[in-house]
Structure formats: structure tokens, C-alpha cells
Structure 1
């Protein structure tokens, strides 16, 4: 039986595109008007859909940002999944982070700035924070099999979970920290700079855990 992921159908692709359009509309309104000043109806109008269509996809206005928040994590995992098994884990994680958070063109810069506005709105709203944390928890769980494959047969389940949690939190904390400042999208204090610093501290601080010591994964971090 083939283990290759199935290609999404046209209907599934259209659904995903509509959900992302709604998420962009919600993020723009939350960033400019604040969560309390934004209604589901206004999000639907901004996305060019009927309110009933909005509720077909999302239970609440806060849930509408989920697709936008998952994009970065999906891209990061895809980069890791493309890494050859046996590659040193630390460099593999850092390389994927650098590529996922890079801002090589205007579109990437605008995407990061939208993320900053959204994260600032999230920081002040309990319901939005719940969505953000749920997305990160899901990303961490989906990262576990990717880390397992990279680490190889010697990988310990507990250690893999710790690495997945540390890596996920590194990016989350970096983005939240950056969003609270006026630092640029590149250079010192940027998402990439902060995420790499977090990764090196959290993953590197595990010592033997990732360096092939007793019970270790056998995958060096540097």
C-alpha cells in the first residue's frame, strides 16, 4: 500500500482557499479594529461571502484565524520532511526555521507584518489566545513523527516529544516577542534571529539528549 499523501481534490482546494480568504479578512479586521470591534458579519463582508457561509467553515470569529496561523507551521514541517534522514537535527531545525521565516521579497515581508498585527491582537484577547495555543499544540503533535523520522531508529519517544515541544515553543516565543517590538523583519531582533536563538538555547541545552548519549537520539544539534 502506498504511503504517499493523496492529492487534495478540487473541492478540498477550493474549501481551503475560501478558509484562508476568511482568515486574512479576520486578521486584517482584528489588527485594525481589535477583536471586540469586529463581528463575524464584518469578516464575512470583507471576505466577500455570506454570513451563513462563514459559519459553515468556522464556529466563531476567533476560530477564523486558524488557517492563517497554521500556514507557517505547515511550511516549516514540509521543509523538515524534505530533509534526509540522518541529518544532524539541530542544523536541520535551524535551516528549516531560517527558510520558513525568511523575508526575501515584498510578499514575504507583508505576510510577516500581517502576522505581527494579528499577534498583537491575539495578545489582548483570551479567546484568540486560545486559538493560537491550540494551533501550536497541533503543530507540536504533527512535528513528532517528522522528528522521529529524522532521528532514526535510536530515537526515544520521550526525547522526541521534548524536542518537538522545544522547537515549536522556540518559534512561538520568537514570533510573540518580535510582535511586541518594532524590530524589522530581518536582522537583529527579527523573527528568524529570535527563533534561531531560542532553538540554540532550548535544543542545544538538551546536551546528550540530542547528541547520541545514553538513550539519546543519535542526532547532533551542531
Structure 2
């Protein structure tokens, strides 16, 4: 994918400014005590501009990046391009390293976002729905890499679901630790445990 132009970069930056403002305010006051107008004022834009980027204050909290779908598609591209010597699960972790490192770099924002989502079940459902349209291409990429057929083999869908659960568990544990350990280390640990078959720890 080509690099975004100046206009597109400005849109991405405004989206980020609004999203971080939403997370900051909702983290301080609670979701019910923050309005769209509050978020827009905090970001230095009008409420009308806010609605050019988000349908609601809930979306402003949940959607950290305007190009979230493109980011998901880039993950799939990186999975397809990962070193052939890597197993499929290893390749999936490798494809996410850049995004996981970014979360670590913005630790306070993400710790707050995860707390808000955990405290508001409706936001959990919204977060889960964000990438529903890239599930099929992700399954196809896993199938191609693993030499399986998603129409006749459970493996691609099962691996995607298992890895998604491992990633979510890592994020929740990272939040419980207050971000004191790198998220990438926790995901590596979760993936290794998953690859070992989730045997009882000794």
C-alpha cells in the first residue's frame, strides 16, 4: 500500500487527536459524563468536525486509528510475506510486532482505553465488530500459508480464533499489570503456550 498524502495524513492526525481526547476525558469522568462537544473542545475542533470522523463518542473511544481496516489488511499482507521458515502461528505473531510495539509506546492511552471498554460492555461489542469484514481474508491467508482448505479444514478458522483469544488475554493481563511488562513479551508467551497445546503448567 502506498504512503498517504498530506491531506490523508492530516485526516489521520485529526482522528488520532479526537480519539486520544475521548479516551482521556472518558477515563477521567466516565462515559456517561462526557459529551461529543466536550471531546471536540478538548481536541480544538467543532462538534461538526467530530462527526466527520466518528458516528458517536463511543466510536471515538474504541476506534484508535481512522485507517483501522487498512491496518488489519496490512497485517494480512505481512502474514503472507513472512519468512517461509516460520510456522503459521509464529508468522502471525511476527506480523503484529509493529502494532504491538505501537501500543506499548502509547501505554497510558491504551491502558485507559482497555479499562473503559472493560467497564462498558457495549463498547466491547463495538470493538469486536470493527474487523469482522477482514475475518474471511485472514482465514484465507492462514489457509494459504498452512496449506489447508478453509472449506474443508477447521484449522485456519480455529487458529485465527485461538490467536485472537490469546491476544485478548494478553491485553487483559497487560492491563492488570499496569503495562509493567512489554505487551509483545506477553503475546510471545501466550503464542508459545498455545503452540505447546495448552498443557497444564508444571
1:148 is aligned to 143
1:220 is aligned to none
Residue 105 (structure 2) pairs with residue 113 (structure 1): no
Whether the aligned pair in 2 keeps the contact of 1:112 and 1:185 (CA below 8 Å) is no
Alignment of 1:1-222 (within 5 A): 5=1, 8-68=4-64, 70=68, 74=72, 76-77=75-76, 79-85=78-84, 87-102=86-101, 109-135=104-130, 137-138=132-133, 140-151=135-146, 154-157=147-150, 158-182=154-178, 184-186=180-182, 191-205=183-197
Q: 2 CA distance for matches of 1:183 and 1:51?
A: 33
Judging changes above 3 Å, is the alpha-carbon distance between structure 1 residues 146 and 17 closer, same or farther for their aligned structure 2 residues?
A: farther
Q: 2 CA distance for matches of 1:10 and 1:38?
A: 31
Q: What's the TM-score, normalizing by structure 1?
A: 0.70
Secondary structure of the equivalent of 1:59?
coil
More displaced stretch, 12-21 vs 155-164: 12-21
Q: Provide the aligned length of Structure 1 versus Structure 2.
A: 191
Deviations 1:51-82 (A, max 9, x none): 011112211100113431649x6475564344
Whether the aligned pair in 1 keeps the contact of 2:75 and 2:96 (CA below 8 Å) is yes
Deviations 1:84-139 (A, max 9, x none): 34632233233344554348xxxx64502311111011111123222222235456
Deviation at 1:45, TM superposition (A): 1.1
Secondary structure of the equivalent of 1:168?
helix
Structure in which a larger fraction of residues adopt helix: 2
Q: 1 CA distance for matches of 2:61 and 2:137?
A: 19
Unaligned runs of 5+ in 1: 207-222
Report the aligned-residue RMSD: 3.1
